[in-house]
């Protein structure tokens, strides 16, 4: 009697186990109504369903709402369900790629919008169009890109435009790109720390960074500490620069601050 087993599932702790593992008839595996009640108790029970039941949108959506891991047990996952799954955890994309991905024709845009972290999957971190969409939304995911894409001008510029912190993950070549460094420093002076050594030794960039955040001075190249012209200009532009001169401008090692 399906109605009886539905009551067992709904009213008894671990009733789903009694119904699907211990005592219930095999016919329950093909019963959508009982399965819907069961996944509300434990999404793993979906693995006992027939392919027909594991393809039911209502059942799969209910299971995924409760846990992204339900994607592993589903026989079919609609767009709404996989979007919900990746919202919960980027790792849902790996299950999707394993079982449902249709290849390049499969539009991943909505999944990227739901969670840009999906590019952590190694099957996506070298995909330029996917990575570009992801960094436009969350620049710091550049850290998961392949070395080749970290050296891609368009991708890296969009990542840094979204957040200066993405500078940390740019290729060495791009860390030395003055336009890129300028883009980052306009957001936050501390971005200087991620620039190439040549730029950290460029007085113009150091002072530009200090205008945003005086603490950026700590990332200036050490040889600037002995550059008289640098200190002359620094003192003229920053009223408190003499304090730094007293600490750093006389050849003493920089303790940071």
The 3-state secondary structure of 33-82, one letter per residue: HHHHHHHCCCHHHHHHCCCCHHHCHHHHHHHHHHCHHHHHCCCCCCHHHH
Domain membership flag for residue 246: yes
Domain membership flag for residue 218: yes
Report the 10 Å Cβ neighbour count for 153: 14
Torsion sign over Cα 105, 109, 114, 116: positive
What the block records as the tokens of 175 is: 């860390």
Task: Report the first-to-last Cα separation within the chain, whole angstroms.
Answer: 74
In our burial notation (b when 16+ CB lie closer than 10 A, e otherwise), range 83-101 reads bbbbebbbbbbbbbbeeee
The model carries a pTM of: 0.84
Q: Give residue 225's pLDDT band: very low, low, confident or very high (50, 70, 90).
A: confident
Domain membership flag for residue 69: no
Rounded-to-integer distance, Cα 111 and Cα 85, Å: 9
Domain count along the chain: 1
pLDDT, position 253? 44
For 121-135, how does the pLDDT look when each residue is reduced to its tens digit (9 = 90+)? 999 999 999 999 999
Show the domain range for 254: 194-257
């Amino acid at each position: 009697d399906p109605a009886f087993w539905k009551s067992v599932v709904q009213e008894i702790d671990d009733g789903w186990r009694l119904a699907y593992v211990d005592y219930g008839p095999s016919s329950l595996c093909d019963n959508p109504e009982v399965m819907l009640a069961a996944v509300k108790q434990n999404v793993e029970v979906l693995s006992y369903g027939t392919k027909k039941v594991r393809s039911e949108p209502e059942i799969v959506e209910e299971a995924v709402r409760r846990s992204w891991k339900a994607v592993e047990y589903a026989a079919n996952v609609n767009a709404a369900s996989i979007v919900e799954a990746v919202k919960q955890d980027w790792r849902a994309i790996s299950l999707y790629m394993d079982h449902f991905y249709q290849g390049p024709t499969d539009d991943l845009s909505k999944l990227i919008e739901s969670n840009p972290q999906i590019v952590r999957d190694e099957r996506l971190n070298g995909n330029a169009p996917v990575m570009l969409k992801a960094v436009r939304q969350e620049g710091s995911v550049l850290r998961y890109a392949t070395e080749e894409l970290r050296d891609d001008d368009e991708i890296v510029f969009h990542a840094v435009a979204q957040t200066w912190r993405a500078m940390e993950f740019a290729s060495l070549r791009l860390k030395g790109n003055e336009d890129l460094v300028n883009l980052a420093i306009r957001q936050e002076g501390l971005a200087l720390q991620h620039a190439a050594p040549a730029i950290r030794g460029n007085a113009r960039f150091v002072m530009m960074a200090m205008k945003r955040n005086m603490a950026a001075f700590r990332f200036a190249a050490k040889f600037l500490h002995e550059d008289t012209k640098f200190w002359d200009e620094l003192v003229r532009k920053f009223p408190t620069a003499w304090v730094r001169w007293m600490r750093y401008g006389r050849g003493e090692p920089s303790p940071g601050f």
